[in-house]
A and B are shown apart, each in its own frame.
Chain A
Amino acid sequence: MITLLIRIVSLAALLYLVLPLVVIVGSSLTNTSFLAFPPQGLTLTWFGKVITDASYVSSFVTSTVLAAFATAVAILFAVPSALAIARYNFPGKRALSAILMSPLILPHVVLGAALLQYGTAIGLTRNFLALLVGHIVIITPFVLRAVLPQLTEEQKSLEEASADLGGRPVTTFFLVTFPQIRSGILSGAIFAFISSWINVELSIFNTTAELTTIPVKLFNYVQYTIDPTIAAVSAVTILVAALVIIILDFTLGLDVLSERR
């Protein structure tokens, strides 16, 4: 009885989450020149329009490269920071941890404005590097937060065991620490990648007509026109996300995200 109730509730919740996606994908197939759901007729015209539009393709590329680079750098920042915070006591440890986490609680608009002002002072504005710096700042906490809980006392004693058996620090990291925190890095990286991929508030300060990310382009576009192009762009985004998840599941196994082995 209770199980049945739980099933119904979770199904309803899932439906609630999925329906908007159905609507957006559905409207991308409409024949009309305005957004319509259910779609009037079926056509792939809007997808064709997106794929052949160089500005869309280039902002897709920008977003992807930006998110990939930012995630990679965030991992390189977050993992050593997490190790330092979890393993050592040093002056300013709490401050370091608070600073690294602070982008989570600061509004991205404020961060964006601040970064633009600072960037102007040092000549780092409206280019890929300026975008990258901002994205690294906001997504590093996601990786940090995912890795920190995995650096437990139990994990520390594994590292001690490795040292005891003659493992030097670098060997210990790659043979013992990394395999244990891999799932944390992976789940943190997925969150980080997605946060970068969908960001508007921060990117908007440093994008130009030529250099723009896909969410910023969408945001600008819908201010003037609403036609099924945006639905098609959204559908492509959803497709990419789904593909990423499926590829991850086949290669690494998504169970690594849900439980520590």
Chain B
Amino acid sequence: MTAPLLNITKLSKHFGRQAALSDVNLEVEQGEFIALLGPSGCGKTTLLRCIAGFLKPDSGSIRITGEDVTRLPPYLRPLNTVFQNYALFPHMSVEDNVAYGPRRRGATKKDALSQAADALELVGLSGFAGRFPRQLSGGQQQRVALARAIVNRPKLLLLDEPLSALDLKLRKRVQIELKHLQEKLGIAFVFVTHDQEEALTMADRVVVMSGGRIEQVGRGEDIYRAPATRFVADFIGEANLLPCSILPDGSLMTSVGALSVRPKLRPKGDNLVAVLRPEQVSLLPDGAMEGLSTVPAVVEDVIHVGSHVMVNARVGDTVITSRVSGQLPAQVVKGARLHVGFRPDDLHLIGD
């Protein structure tokens, strides 16, 4: 069994008394696309900077293909980084920026420039070699930063929110391009983002972080379907979180009443939470429907969001949100009394 490309073990880092990373463990395989996802201050950028070598962790280790690089300075690590602000050298032309890496690794000027030309062609900027960074648009600068990082053909590329400065349309396009490029080159990407859609679109596996800890690692759809913690359920997509407990007879008591559901998974802890995604909640103006658990509710808000409609319905003290993508039944108006229903199997239980 070969060593994984990147192996992070028990990594911790404090800033003063503030724990920025605590006990982080992560493995990344060759050619994998990993997204580090979380709100600002969750430690994702700190983790990236530890991998790059700009920060020294307090404890724990970082191995790249088995070699311990924890104490190595950045310039000796076999990886490259695309910085959030691109960090292009303003006093160098585009080709000199891209040739900088090969030059530092001992290539002759001629070889370095020819490698730079190849990398620039790869990102579609062949005609821009002689320009200076300030003469380029944000999107073009982003491509130069990418070319400069991949020209060395590292096995591992770190990207620190590289798309955050681009406008929405361009960002969507670059996401797809970046994903294609990553597959073509076979370089493993560790991609920091706070944009969950970006993470779910691009990554093979998503690492959700909060408060310096890894909350969950998994494929995007698994994280969405089966969040491991309350934080993940709340952070990824929209969710109805229903506090609940399991009764002695094995059925479920939730904040919207007792359900004749016998959950297959029984997480530890007394304060359980049932997660129900809005698209799993049906609105039933005519009452019950076979196969669904239903509870009576009153419509509080009907919110049109273009492609779909979000309906908030009150059940006692709890508000349940339903997402309706097709035609909204005529009876669903503010103040209407109806039933909300869901498939018992869709309930996902989370322990404490």
Contact = CB atoms under 8 A, between A and B. Distances in A.
Interface of A: 154, 157-158, 160-168, 171, 175-176, 179-180, 261
A157 B83 CA distance: 8
Given A154-B85, A165-B75, A179-B91, 19 more contacts: A157-B83, A157-B87, A158-B89, A160-B83, A161-B81, A164-B80, A164-B81, A165-B80, A165-B100, A165-B101, A165-B104, A165-B152, A166-B105, A167-B75, A168-B75, A171-B104, A180-B91, A261-B90, A261-B91
* Secondary structure class of chain B's binding surface, majority of residues: loop
A60 to B, nearest CB: 37
B190 to A, nearest CB: 14
B319 to A, nearest CB: 44
B52 interface: yes
9 contacts: A157-B87, A158-B89, A158-B90, A161-B88, A161-B148, A163-B74, A166-B104, A166-B105, A180-B90
Interface string B48-63: 0000111000000000
A97 to B, nearest CB: 21
B210 to A, nearest CB: 26
Contacts of A158: 87, 89-90
A158 to B, nearest CB: 5
A165 B90 contact: no
A158 B152 CA distance: 18
Contacts of B89: 158, 161-162, 176
B66 interface: no
B80 to A, nearest CB: 6
The 7 closest A-B CB pairs, nearest first, are A166-B104, A161-B87, A165-B101, A163-B74, A157-B87, A179-B91, A164-B81
A81 to B, nearest CB: 23
B73 interface: yes
Contacts of B75: 163-168
Interface string B264-283: 00000000000000000000
The dominant DSSP class at the A interface is helix
B81 A166 contact: no
B104 A160 contact: no
A176 B96 CA distance: 12
Contacts of B87: 157-158, 160-161
B18 to A, nearest CB: 15
B148 A165 contact: yes
Contacts of A164: 52, 74-75, 80-81, 149
A18 B105 CA distance: 55
Contacts of B152: 165-166
B3 to A, nearest CB: 23
A176 B104 CA distance: 13
Interface string B96-128: 000011001100000000000000000000000
A176 B100 CA distance: 11
